[in-house]
Amino acid sequence: MRFIRLPWRIYRNSPQWVPPLIFERKQFLSRKKNPWFKHGDMGLFIAWRGATPVGRISAHYDEDFNAHHGHRWGMFGFFECEDDQEAASALVDAARGWLDERGYDRMVGPFDGTMNDEAGVLIEGFELKPMIKQPWQHPYYQDLLEGAGMSKAVDLYMWTLQVDKRSDVAPMIWQVAEQAEKEHGITLRHMRKRRLQDEVKAFVEIYNAAWSRNWGFTPMREEDFAHAAQEMKPLLSEDWIMACEDPSGRTIAVALTVPDFNQAIGAANGRLLPFGWARLLWKLPRINQVRVGFLGVLPEFQHTGVAALLYREHFDMAEKTRQSGGEMGWILENNKPMNRAMEGMGGKIAKKYRVYEQVLRPAE
């Protein structure tokens, strides 16, 4: 609980920060409840100045990540620290030492787990509140990590989109969406929470195929995503989770978009009892943004325009729901097709997150 509760001290005067739900963080770090620990391990560290905790960090590794890439990389995450370079350097040293003892040759992060979880250090967009599953950190975090010897690996972009402004969209998007239907026989449907288990199987297949060449990609196990999907089930809206099928009925593309529940979760201040539930429930109907967390297409169908069909449906949903805009991402800075697509729909980069790395020993 000291590890989980430390951010409340770091961000006590930061109105942009959104407190996580404590019970969810406890479950995430539980070796019994989180299936990630079947293929990963983690050490947790707290920096103390006298009797006061001033920072924290995790060191961890994921066997699936390393098997996929042929690496011996370790990771760090959950990094929080006061504006104290000595403490930050001590935390990074502790994580590095934990990984070095286990034979890893590079440390990358911060990831609260893998890049499938909260990732990166905020370097632009401090004035904005984070959306669901996004971190928010103080501007000095970048200096702390670089002062501790970390260097840039890659930046991640969050794009803001007003999906009720069709006039901002390049006409080609609508044309390509129509071609996907008429020329390739592709149909769009909305996922159903009552069929969540079947939807999980399709999502994992598409995720692992569509993102496999991305920097930092970690293959997703069906068990892991099923666990996450079950936890998120109350947060999912069938208006915003959608899939596309080919003429045979095979699911070939999915979009996992969720209402920005940070607008509600923040009101609970980490606890649902005794009054957190009431505050959260009062906020839920007032959520006016969404986050497009994942939009993927099987590689053999990426030429069909199916992604444009999913984009178009987001604009249609904006006309039918309270949510009229939001953010999409993260998207790797070197993912030129996706970044061009965001520009084509009138998007603008709202936030940038940086992933850092440090070589621990020469690769064998």
Summarised one tens digit per residue, pLDDT across range 138-189 is 999 999 999 999 999 999 999 998 766 777 788 888 899 999 999 999 999 9
In the numeric block, the tokens 């066997």 are attached to 63
| pLDDT at site 230 | 79
At residue 318, does pLDDT exceed 90?
no
Contact 106, 333 (CB under 8 A): no
Write down the mean pLDDT value for the chain.
Answer: 90
Distance CA 152, CA 355 (A): 6
Dihedral angle of Cα 171, 173, 178, 180, to the nearest 10 degrees? 150
Q: Which one of 168-172, 244-248, 268-272, 302-306 scores highest in mean pLDDT?
A: 244-248
Say which residue, 170 or 117, is predicted with more confidence.
117
Question: Is residue 334 pLDDT above 80, yes or no?
Answer: yes
The pLDDT value recorded for residue 362 is 76
Nearest-CA neighbor of 289 among 329, 321, 330, 265? 321
CATH superfamily of the domain spanning 160-352: Gcn5-related N-acetyltransferase (GNAT) (3.40.630.30)
Tell whether the model's pLDDT for residue 276 goes beyond 60: no
**Amino acid present at 175:** Q
Q: Tell me what pLDDT residue 319 has.
A: 85
Q: What is the pLDDT of residue 277?
A: 57
**Average pLDDT over every residue of 112-121:** 92
Q: What is the pTM of this model?
A: 0.91
Q: Report helix angle 171-182 to 306-320, nearest 10.
A: 110
Q: Which letter does DSSP use for residue 114 in this model?
A: S
pLDDT at 51: 95
pLDDT tens digits for range 184-193: 999 999 998 8
Q: Supply the DSSP symbol for 286.
A: G
Contact 205, 102 (CB under 8 A): no
Nearby residues of 213 by Cβ (< 8 Å), 6 or more positions away: none
**Which pLDDT band, with edges at 50, 70 and 90, does 13 fall under?**
very high
Q: Do domains 2-9+19-155 and 160-352 have the same CATH topology?
A: yes
Query: What is the rounded average pLDDT of the residues 85-102?
Result: 98
> What's the CA gap between 158 and 325, in Å, rounded?
13
Q: According to the model, what pLDDT value does residue 281 have?
A: 63
Residue 243, phi then psi, degrees to nearest 5:
-145, 160
CB 82 within 8 A of CB 54: yes
Rounded-to-integer distance, Cα 279 and Cα 281, Å: 6
* Most confidently predicted of 180-184, 211-215, 332-336, 354-358: 354-358
Q: Which pLDDT tens digit goes with each residue over 214-255?
A: 999 999 999 988 888 877 777 788 899 999 999 999 999 999
pLDDT tens string 344-355? 888 899 999 999
Taking each continuous run of H as one helix and of E as one strand, the counts in the chain are 12, 12
SS3 breakdown of the chain: % helix, strand, coil, rounded to 5? 40, 25, 35
Average pLDDT of 7-22? 94
Using an 8 Å Cβ cutoff, are 239 and 190 in contact?
yes
Q: pLDDT > 70: what percent of the chain?
A: 95
- Three-state DSSP at 103 gives coil
Classify 2-9+19-155 by CATH class: alpha beta
Instruction: Quote the crossing angle between the two packed helices 222-232 and 196-210, to the nearest 10°.
Output: 120
Per residue in 2-21, is it b (16+ CB within 10 Å) or e — as a string?
ebbebbeebbeeeebbbbbb
Mean pLDDT calculated for residue range 73-96? 98
Domain positions in the chain:
2-9+19-155, 160-352
For residue 336, is pLDDT > 70? Answer: yes
Helix (H) or strand (E) holding 325: strand 325-332
Question: How many CB atoms within 10 Å of residue 247?
Answer: 9
Q: What confidence tier does 275 reach under pLDDT thresholds 50, 70, 90? A: low
The percentage of the chain sitting over the pLDDT mark of 90, rounded to a whole number, equals 64
